[in-house]
Each structure stands twice: as structure tokens, then as C-alpha cells.
Chains A and B, each alone.
Chain A
Amino acid sequence: MTAYARRVSLVLWKDLLTERRSKESLNALLFFALLLLFLFQFALGPDRERLQAVLPGLLWLGFVLAGLLGFGRSFVAERDNDCWEGLRLVPGDKSAIYLGKLLGNVAVMGVVELAVLLLFGVFFNLDLWAPLLPLAAVLALGTVGVASVGTLFAAITATVRARELLFPVLLLPAQVPVLLAAVAATEVVLAGRPVGEAAHWLKLLAAADLVYVTVGLLTFEFVLDT
């Protein structure tokens, strides 16, 4: 493994280990997602048809909102424990930290999304088995999309006062295209329609992911300031 890859995996392993031991983020996020599900149901009424129609949108709204909470905490541990200097002093390419954090965020969000998806499946009687592979692809591409900008902006706002306000305000407009694309693609996939119909959306998601991750990798060192 190259030194770069090792640094990435160190950051990733540290975050996942911290998460596994404390379980604070994951449990709270899972519970939050469940509560959102209930809220959507209550807000949109008992009409099953209406809910079924907006399901993909609700799903991704849930992920985006959970992401606001989850990604926002990406660098809180470092900031609170006086480890920010530690990050700045890491030798070599700082983008390794970004990549490690991004992978950690994707992993945690992935678990949350899986849980929410299963719950959605149960509550709304969805067939998740048939479109499993395309669904997984959409989820993966969409999650990288929201997490990539989320991780970068989390680093930016970590040391800003009123972080809780500024982070959503910065992140949500940036996530609009990913939201649009992911919802459209999910709609196609969940309806059992051929994946080809969503091909342009998937390509857009892939392109967006590439752009966001590249920008993140290139600019992260400036956020840390070295």
C-alpha cells in the first residue's frame, strides 16, 4: 500500500472505530431517519397512492436531511479535542484526510440508507429485491454525490461560529442537482422500468461525483491551510 493509501485508511479506520465504539452518530442518525419516515407519513396523510407516487423524493429527502446531521459532524471530533493542529501537521498530501473522511461518511450514510430503505420497503410494501442492483448503483452514486460536497463543506464550517446554521445553507443548494438526479433515477428503478431510461441521470450523477471529489481532493489542503 502506498503511503497515501495508508493515510487514507488510517483516517477511515480511526473514524469507523470511534463510531463503532461510541455508536453515537449511527444510532442517532438511524433513529432520526425513522422519525422522518413517520413525519412524512403524518404530513402527507393516509392516502397510500399519493405516498407511493412521492416515495423516491421522500427517500432522498430523508437521506439529504440525515446527511446534514451526519456530515456536519465530520470534523467536530477533531475540533473539540484540539486535534485541528494535528490534522494540519499530517505529513504529505492532505487530500488523504479528505478521502478518508469521505469514505467514512459514505460508509455511515450507506448503513443509514440501507436501514431506511428496508423500513420503507416494509412500510410501503415495496419490492426491493427485483431492482436490487440498479437501486444499489443509484444509491451509491447519489451518496458519493452528497457526501463529497458535504465532507468538504463540513471541514470549512467546522471552525466557523454558527456552524449549524451555515452548513445546511451552504450545502443544500449545492446538492440540488444530485437530489434531482437521484430521485429521478430511483423513480425509474423502483417502478421496475428498464434501467436504460435512467441512463442519462446515472451518467450525470457519475460526472457530478467525479467533479465534486476532484474539487474536494484539490482544495482540501487550502481548507486546512498549510
Chain B
Amino acid sequence: MRRALGWLAALGLVAGLGAAFAYAPREVVQGNVQRVMYLHVPAILTAYLAFALTLVASVAYLATRRAGWDRMAASAAELGVLFTGLTILSGSIWGRATWFKGQALSWTQGWWTWDARLTSTAVLFLVYVGYLLLRAMVEDREARGRFAAVVGIVGAANIPIVHFSVKWWRALHQPSTLLGPEPSPIAPPIRLALLVNVVAFVLLFAYFLVRRVEIARVEDEALD
């Protein structure tokens, strides 16, 4: 079952790459750099899925105290951090290529703007890196599970609050509307390519999750 999932994920990624580079048309305004979107958007959607799973597993752990839920929460959070990191990296690259097009930049410039979405994604990243740090610093398995679950719940509850605060903060400080890395009015081929990649990423996430939970279980058993 696991191997089947792995092969399916690999297949999905190949299909996704094909859709992103061969099938999807060259975008009119931004050119080929827009294809980063086929990595960037699926990555953040997968990250949200991962953190939603962390929330569910955290609550389930506090309710049942079954170690399986704690392992699920930890694994999902780890993957969430990974995909959020991918989102930020790809978003940063995309932003540099589009927002600063035509400007002469030194190699260190242009990688970051305080765009609302980049900023709130960065905050999301920090919150869950903190979650992982907490887990690393608590040795007692039972306490670790409880503490992490509470932090996971706070982190998830904070997501909408962060979203609005950052969005309004940007509106406050940057009245001009930037031409950001938005998907242009979604033409069907672009939408299809995006969908293929989202499915591919979710499959990949599922595969990683299954494997990671398995590793965690074996680790726990070895330490018993």
C-alpha cells in the first residue's frame, strides 16, 4: 500500500511537471517565470492541509492520549514546515522576478518584500518551527505530546487572526496596489495544470506522512 502510494506520488509529480512546463501556456504578462506558481500554490495548500491535520491530531491526542495521534501531529507539522519553507522560497524567487523586473539589483537584493501573503506565511513558518523546537527540547514523551498539542492548537487558532492583521497592516503601509504573483484570470489550461500539481503534491504529502509516522512509531518502540 505504501509503495503504491509512493509510485502514485512519483507519477503525479511527473504529470505535474509535464503539465507545468509542456501543457500550460506561457503567461502573457509575466512570461515563463509564472510557472513557479505550479510549485508555489500547491506547496502552500499542502502546508495548510498539513497544519489542519496537526490541529485535528493535537485535539485527538489530548482527548484520547493515544501516542499514534501525537506521532501524526508531529509528522504533519514537520511536513507543514517543509512545504511552508518551499512556499516562501518559491514565492521569494517569483516576487523578485516579477516585482523588480527591469530594475538593476545586486545579488543580495529583491528577495524579500513585506507583501501581506509572504509575511503571514513567514509568521506561519515561525510558529510551527517553534512547535518543532518545543518537541526537540522536551524529553518526556508524554509531556512532549501534551505541550506540543496545546502549542499546535494555539498556532492553528492564530492563523485567521494573523491573516487579517497582516492584510490590514499592509493596506495601512502600502496604499499602492502591487502587481503581485497573482494567478492571472484563470484560463482553463492554467487551472488544469494547477489542479494536476495540487493533486500531485497532496499525494506526495500523504506518502511522506505515512512514512514519517512509521519512522516515529519505530523510534518510539525502540525507545520503550
**Shortest Cβ gap from A221 to chain B (Å):** 9
- Contact flag A181-B154 (CB < 8 Å), given A161-B137, A170-B130, A170-B134: no
| In the complex, per-residue mask of A128-150: 1 if CB is within 8 Å of any chain B CB, else 0 | 00000000000000000000010
Consensus secondary structure, chain A interface = helix
Residues in A with CB closer than 8 Å to B149 are: 219, 222
Q: Which of B124-154 contact A (CB under 8 A)?
A: 126-127, 130, 133-134, 137-138, 142-143, 146-147, 149-151, 153-154
| In the complex, per-residue mask of A169-203: 1 if CB is within 8 Å of any chain B CB, else 0 | 11011101110110010000000000000001100
Asked if A153 contacts B165 (CB within 8 A), the reply is no
Asked if B123 contacts A173 (CB within 8 A), the reply is yes
**Shortest Cβ gap from B34 to chain A (Å):** 30
Asked if B161 contacts A219 (CB within 8 A), the reply is no
- Contact flag A215-B157 (CB < 8 Å), given A160-B134, A170-B130, A173-B123: yes
**Shortest Cβ gap from A89 to chain B (Å):** 18
Residues in B with CB closer than 8 Å to A180 are: 165-166, 168-169
Residues in B with CB closer than 8 Å to A215 are: 153-154, 157
Q: Is B7 an interface residue (CB 8 A)?
A: no
**Shortest Cβ gap from B81 to chain A (Å):** 12
Asked if A169 contacts B157 (CB within 8 A), the reply is no
Asked if B133 contacts A204 (CB within 8 A), the reply is no
Bound Cα distance A173, B125 (Å): 9
Residues in A with CB closer than 8 Å to B138 are: 160
Residues in A with CB closer than 8 Å to B162 are: 176-177
Q: Is A1 an interface residue (CB 8 A)?
A: no
Asked if B137 contacts A160 (CB within 8 A), the reply is yes
Q: Which of B54-100 contact A (CB under 8 A)?
A: 62
Bound Cα distance A172, B158 (Å): 12
Asked if B151 contacts A153 (CB within 8 A), the reply is yes
A interface, CB within 8 angstroms of B: 149, 152-153, 156-157, 159-162, 166, 169-170, 172-174, 176-178, 180-181, 184, 200-201, 204, 207-208, 211-212, 215, 219, 222-223, 225
Bound Cα distance A204, B158 (Å): 12
The one of A152, A159, A173 in contact with B150, judged by C-beta atoms closer than 8 angstroms, is A152
Asked if A166 contacts B165 (CB within 8 A), the reply is no
Known: A177-B158, A204-B168, A223-B146. 16 other contacts (CB 8 A): A156-B134, A156-B150, A160-B147, A166-B134, A173-B127, A174-B155, A176-B162, A176-B165, A177-B162, A180-B166, A184-B169, A184-B172, A201-B168, A212-B157, A219-B150, A222-B150
Residues in A with CB closer than 8 Å to B153 are: 215, 219
Residues in B with CB closer than 8 Å to A204 are: 161, 164-165, 168
Task: List the 8 closest A-B pairs by CB distance, nearest first.
Answer: A177-B165, A173-B126, A180-B165, A173-B127, A219-B150, A177-B161, A170-B130, A180-B169
Residues in A with CB closer than 8 Å to B164 are: 177, 204
The one of A160, A177, A207 in contact with B166, judged by C-beta atoms closer than 8 angstroms, is A177
**Shortest Cβ gap from B154 to chain A (Å):** 6
Residues in B with CB closer than 8 Å to A212 are: 154, 157
Residues in A with CB closer than 8 Å to B161 are: 177, 204, 207-208, 211
Residues in A with CB closer than 8 Å to B168 are: 180, 184, 200-201, 204
Asked if B166 contacts A219 (CB within 8 A), the reply is no
Residues in A with CB closer than 8 Å to B133 are: 166, 169-170
Selected A-B contacts with CB under 8 Å, 23 pairs: A149-B154, A152-B154, A153-B151, A162-B137, A166-B134, A173-B123, A174-B127, A176-B162, A177-B162, A177-B164, A180-B168, A180-B169, A181-B165, A200-B168, A201-B168, A204-B161, A207-B161, A211-B158, A212-B157, A215-B153, A219-B62, A219-B149, A219-B150
**Shortest Cβ gap from B211 to chain A (Å):** 28
**Shortest Cβ gap from B9 to chain A (Å):** 31
**Shortest Cβ gap from A179 to chain B (Å):** 8
**Shortest Cβ gap from B174 to chain A (Å):** 14
Asked if A211 contacts B137 (CB within 8 A), the reply is no
| In the complex, per-residue mask of B98-133: 1 if CB is within 8 Å of any chain A CB, else 0 | 000000000000000000000000010011001001
